[in-house]
């Protein structure tokens, strides 16, 4: 997943998650260690990029980064833990999936996941870090691309719900499909619009 490691280089990982707001599907996080010798231009918050540009950058990140990994928390874990703790769990899994151990980890947002006493490096929470830190931007992009691809896959299983377009977010189309066709196994039952429908049934 990474080329030969440059010597005497401090390894910095960026971490971000995608999918806190949707009513369906997993929350997916990514951890990325960029190679300073192979800079990638155009990195920014994934939401500010077109799907085509995200795909292009995601390919470059996977190719040129020193290391990257994805982590996830599925619907059952989201309903059990709540979305906040499930997001931190996905981030922790992404970090633990790296084959290189970073010296410093930049986390998008206000909170850092718990990595336990075995991790000897430092963690830093950065609000809106996906706009200012290249490593976090890269993590945002590959997490977004991975989650979108998964939700598009659900669209073929449940075509009347429109997952390919809204990716599980609570759009009018999605809420109307929920009311008309009911709750699916991939819906988050702890989220208010879904919970309300279950209660009414």
> Is residue 3 a part of any domain in this protein?
no
> Is residue 71 a part of any domain in this protein?
yes
What sign has the CA pseudo-torsion 142, 143, 146, 151? negative
The string of pLDDT tens digits covering residues 69-126 is 999 999 999 999 999 999 999 999 999 999 999 999 999 999 999 998 889 999 999 9
> Is residue 2 a part of any domain in this protein?
no
> Is residue 186 a part of any domain in this protein?
no
What sign has the CA pseudo-torsion 130, 133, 139, 142? positive
* Chain center to CA of 184: 22
Q: Given pLDDT bands bounded at 50, 70 and 90, which one contains residue 8?
A: low
User: Which range of residues forms the domain containing residue 88?
Assistant: 12-150
Domain CATH number, residue 30: 3.30.420.10
Structure tokens that stand for 112 in this block: 């850092």
pLDDT at 3: 46
> Is residue 95 a part of any domain in this protein?
yes
Q: How many domains does the chain have?
A: 1
> Is residue 76 a part of any domain in this protein?
yes
* Residue 201 clears pLDDT 70, i.e. is over it: no
What percent of the chain is modeled with pLDDT above 70? 96
> Is residue 170 a part of any domain in this protein?
no
Which among 128, 110, 125 is positioned nearest to 48, based on CA atoms?
128
Contact (Cβ atoms closer than 8 angstroms) between residue 106 and residue 96: no
């Amino acid at each position: 997943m990474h080329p030969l490691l440059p010597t005497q280089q401090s390894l910095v990982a960026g971490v971000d998650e995608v999918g806190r707001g949707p009513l369906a599907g997993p929350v997916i996080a990514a951890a990325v260690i960029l190679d300073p010798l192979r800079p990638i231009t155009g990195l920014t918050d994934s939401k500010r990029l077109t799907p085509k540009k995200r795909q292009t950058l995601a390919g470059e990140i996977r190719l040129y980064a020193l290391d990257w990994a994805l982590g996830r928390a599925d619907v059952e874990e989201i309903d059990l833990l709540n979305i906040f703790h499930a997001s931190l769990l996905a981030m922790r899994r992404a970090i633990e999936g790296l084959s290189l151990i970073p010296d410093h980890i930049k986390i998008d947002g206000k909170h850092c996941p718990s990595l336990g006493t075995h991790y000897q490096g430092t963690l830093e929470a950065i609000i809106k870090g996906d706009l200012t830190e290249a490593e976090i931007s890269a993590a945002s992009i590959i997490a977004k691309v991975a989650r979108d691809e998964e939700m598009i896959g659900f669209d073929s299983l449940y075509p009347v719900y429109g997952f390919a377009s809204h990716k599980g977010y609570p759009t009018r189309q999605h809420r109307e499909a929920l009311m008309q066709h009911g709750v699916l196994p991939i819906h988050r039952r702890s989220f208010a619009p879904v919970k309300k429908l279950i209660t009414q049934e």
